[in-house]
Structure 1
Amino acid sequence: MNRRRHATAAITMICALTVLASPALTLQAAAAPLPPPPPKKSLEQVRQEIDALYRQAAVATDAYNLAEEKTEEQSAEIVRVARMIVEGRAKIEALKARAGASARAQYRNGGLPDGAQLVLTDDPQLFLDAAGRLKAGAKATTDLLGEMNRTQAQLDVYAEDAGANWTKLEAHRIRQAQAKKQIDEKIAAAKKLESELAAEERVRLRRLEEQERQRAQTTWLGTGVLTGLTADATPDAAKAIAFATAQIGKPYVWGAEGPGSYDCSGLTQSAWGAAGRPIPRTSQEQWRLLPRVAVEDMQPGDLIVYFADASHIGMYVGNGTMVHAPRPGRDVTLAGAGSMEILGVVRPA
């Protein structure tokens, strides 16, 4: 009994101590210092981050546009091959019909081949006539069989081409979907960053963007790059410039080729297309495939390619100025030709 009393008392004491200790523990936990909040980004850091996201979206846009172009080419090739297969099958059927007609003619001759009929005749003239027909018939049969074999071989090649083209088409569609996903993600991230700014900060952000462009343009002009540059445009270049500048004020939309909106390479391609000069769809392909000229030899109508990855492009219009579709959220506009990092210059005409 005494043991039981002692045990009960001990348990009561432990519970009391626990209750008494709990507030202290809570206070101690509450008093523990919280980790410091992450340092607030400066507006310049936000500008650089937004700019980087839009640059990444521009690279993905080029990948999307190229995949779209290849998808269209592959689709056209599949249609072309399908038509050739249909034509080949029709040709095979026509050749089979000719072979059947030959067989039926032989049947009407009593089932004897021409050679046997030739042996059975004792008329010399008839023999000579039959011999000529036999030779001509044998050649016709050989030619017919040869043509059937060649046509069948072509059909086999067309069938293989059709399968390969479908494989390529699906690969381009996958790349297109992946690029679209990346574009959407980068643009959404950039918009989120900008939306988190107060209205006054967004105004200051635009001012910072403009100041950065002016700084780069002033530095570029300070090199004396405009000295000796011609202000004259060729007739085709003048047409391209007129088209491009007529689009000023229309919004940038990635993947757009007009007429209501454009991305950067969609604008340059459409402008030179209006001048009667087809050029590649993407800024990277325009840089890769069009003739290059030195910046010192640049003339109005030339295309200026920007950044090491050729992810942006604009059209030089003279006097150190270019027209371009900048990025999502901005409109087609005039800007300093040196307001961004220049990779090089290409000349469509």
Structure 2
Amino acid sequence: MPIRRVHMPRICPPPLHRFLVTAVTVVAVLLAGTGAAQAEPTPAELEQQIDEMWNQLEPTIEQYNQVHTQLKDNQAKAEKLQQQLQPLQDQVDAAMGKISEIAVRQYKIGRVTTMQVLLSGSTPTDTLDQLTVVNAIARNERAQIQDVAATRDRLAADKQALDALIAQQTTQDKELAAKKTQIEGKITDLQKLRQQAYGSSGATGTLKPVACPVDYLGGDGGTAAKKACELIGKPYIWGATGPKGYDCSGLTMAAWAAAGVSLRHYTKWQWEDAKSVAKADLRPGDLVFFYSDLHHVGLYVGGGWMVHAPTTGDYVRMAKLEGRPITGYRRPS
């Protein structure tokens, strides 16, 4: 029996260009599903973001400080007005009580009948005299109380207006405080990312044992702190303001000059030219003064650290504030 040949259809591979298109499509789908890897932000990029956040925060802080101070002042004024109002109100209440008594007496005397007058031996003249005296006393009491009541009403009106202002400022105070807290929280998150971006410590040796500045902030203080950190390693040179070397006040002078703020080259002058800040309010860029005669100064860079030019033979370096004879803290502006 003859063998029949069965012709099988030829299976051809797809054209190369079609394969490439398919492969690219698959890769695109995979990337879309998993998300393309993004580069971690650099310290400089994070610092730029912190700068932007700080520029929002600083005006908010100043507005909050203004409203909060005004609120406290007005609350104190309202309390003082209340203290003035209370004795006036007591006087009015006492006088009104007297007038009420007089009115009762006048009413009783006014109802005395002729028969009662005759039986009591009193004459109509006596009764008239009594009525005249009672009326005179009542008029005198009313005249005296009118002045007191007028003063009370004036102070009460002032307090009412002040209370309305206090209510308005209380609302503003809460709104600004909430906004301030929100922005500060974002800056704190950025600070953590910044420390991670610098590495575990950012150390470069004994002169810079940790990342500098430890806490970065925008604004003039942040600029001064960055400049001081850049000068780490420069030799201490007595009377020098750079660029080859610095003494302690020369360093702070140069750091703040980078922010466009002029300081004089003497620790006591720098103390006079800056405003006092509390330890709890310290932020990078603030000046830290030591010893009772203010003969040494450093620049705070956050985290309890400062940058300073210590002494002859040493170099500009970072140092912890803890355990040092600090006299006070000041903020140039």
**TM-score between both structures, scaled by the size of structure 1:** 0.49
After superposition, the C-alpha distances for 1:248-294 in whole angstroms (9 at most, x for unaligned) are xxxxxxxxxxxxxxxxxxxxxxxxxxxxxxxxxxxxxxxxxxxxx97
What is the distance in 1 between the residues matched to 2:38 and 2:72?
48
Counterpart CA distance in 2 for 1:137 and 1:61 is 59
Which consecutive unaligned segments of at least 5 residues does structure 1 have?
1-17, 113-119, 230-292
- Write 1 or 2 for the structure with the bigger share of helix: 1
Residue identity over aligned pairs, in percent, reads 8
Q: Match of 1:213?
A: 228
CA contact (8 A) 2:88 2:152 kept: yes
Cα deviation for residue 52 of structure 1 reads 3.0
The one-letter amino acid of 2:264's match is V
Tell me the residue number matched to 2:105: 105
Q: Distance in 1 between matches of 2:264 and 2:49?
A: 29
Alpha-carbon distance in structure 2 between the residues aligned to 1:26 and 1:104 = 109
Q: CA deviation at 1:213?
A: 1.4
The alpha carbon displacement at 1:178 in A equals: 1.0
Instruction: Report what 2:190 is aligned to.
Output: 189
**2:21 matches 1:25:** yes
CA 86–190 in structure 1, closer or farther in 2 if over 3 Å, else same: same
In the comparison of the two structures, how many residue pairs are matched?
A: 245
1: CA distance, partners of 2:212 / 2:136: 91
Alignment of 1:1-349 (within 5 A): 23=19, 25-29=21-25, 43=43, 45=44, 48-49=47-48, 52=51, 55-56=54-55, 59=58, 68-81=68-81, 89-110=89-110, 121=125, 137-199=138-200, 202-203=202-203, 206=210, 209=213, 212-213=227-228, 215=230, 221-222=241-242, 295-296=264-265, 299=268, 301-302=271-272, 304=274, 313-317=286-290, 318-319=294-295, 321-322=297-298, 324=300, 326-327=301-302, 330-331=303-304, 333=306, 335=308, 344=332
3-state DSSP of counterpart to 1:167: helix
Letter matched to residue 104 of structure 2: R
When residues 76 and 53 of structure 1 are mapped into structure 2, their CA distance, relative to the original with a 3 A threshold, is: same
CA distance in structure 2 between the partners assigned to 1:315 and 1:84 by the alignment: 45
Question: What whole-Å deviation, never above 9, does each CA across 1:214-266 have from its counterpart, x for those lacking one?
Answer: 5458697238998999xxxxxxxxxxxxxxxxxxxxxxxxxxxxxxxxxxxxx
Q: Distance in 2 between matches of 1:55 and 1:303?
A: 24
- In 1: Cα distance, 2:149 partner to 2:306 partner: 62
Quote how far apart the aligned CAs of 1:343 are: 8.5
The TM-score normalised by the length of structure 2 is 0.50
1:226 touches 1:296 (CA, 8 Å); kept in 2? no
Q: Give the residue type in structure 1 aligned to 2:51.
A: A
Report the alpha carbon displacement of residue 192 of structure 1 after superposing the two structures with TM. Answer: 2.2
Q: Give the counterpart letter for 1:322 in structure 2.
A: G
Retained in 2: the 8 A contact 1:67–1:176?
no
Q: What SS is found at the alignment partner of 1:199?
A: coil
Task: Decide whether the 8 Å contact of 1:315 with 1:322 is kept in 2.
Answer: yes
Runs of 4+ in 1 over 6 A off after TM superposition: 36-40, 129-133, 217-220, 223-229
Label 1:96 to 1:294 Cα distance change in 2 as closer, same or farther (>3 A).
farther
Contact 1:54-1:186 within 8 A present in 2 as well: yes
Measure the CA separation in 1 of the matches of 2:38 and 2:275.
38
Distance in 2 (alpha carbons) for counterparts of 1:181 and 1:227: 37
Higher-Rg structure is 2
Aligned match of 2:325: none
RMSD over equivalenced CA pairs, Å? 5.5
Q: Which amino acid aligns with 1:163?
A: A
Secondary structure of the structure 1 residue equivalent to 2:203: helix
CA distance in 2, matches of 1:87, 1:99: 18
